[in-house]
Structure 1
């Protein structure tokens, strides 16, 4: 595994705190990966689910450059009627929504998954993301 600098570890800890995630993980690369649990009252095939495939928001940053900017990514599930608002919020914060799609067939209520990306300071990205998703809490 690549040696991870103290600066990267501190950034990952701060990124995690801002986003309200569980403990940030540092993966080879290095990549700071953060998951944040959510609670959905969701059914797939008429069975209640608590799967992390449904109930977690995911965030990461990697490839820090000399200016402290990184490739920053995010993903979350939202109810179908929340998708446009989240995409607008992301765009208003200078973040590019890159995908909107479903994962499941026949789930109730309907879920859509949104992915987003930015080249930004990880801390700035975390703050912008937090503002964008605040209405989901």
Structure 2
């Protein structure tokens, strides 16, 4: 059996969020992972980030323009202020290509 490897990167989002009126920092991050390369240099690339409601349209537009699949957009928590959601995205391509495309979208996040 081939060895299976995953590389992941976590980026903290500097947001002031409350959940049920209590300050929260534990779930305010973005995570990108790159799985094992195939013989052509492609990997399964996965991403998830917490996103403010007003950031969604621009973020999605950049990902879609760059050929990244949006696999989910949903909440994790109720009673958040400001309203936060989580977006999941993916592709199969060289990891550096994915990273560059996602970095472009991250530039619009505050």
Structure 1 residues without counterparts, runs of 5 or longer = 4-28
Structure 1 position 60 matched with structure 2 position 33:
yes
More strand by share: 2
Structure 1 position 127 matched with structure 2 position 100:
yes
**CA distance, structure 2, for counterparts of residue 99 and residue 65 of structure 1:** 25
More helix by share: 1
Deviation (angstroms), 1:41: 0.7
Structure 2 residues without counterparts, runs of 5 or longer = none
- Where do 4+ consecutive residues of structure 1 move more than 6 Å? none
- Give 1:13's aligned residue: none
**CA distance, structure 1, for counterparts of residue 106 and residue 69 of structure 2:** 14
TM-score with structure 1 setting the length:
0.76
**CA distance, structure 1, for counterparts of residue 100 and residue 69 of structure 2:** 15
Please, what is the CA RMSD of the aligned residues? 1.3
TM-score with structure 2 setting the length:
0.93
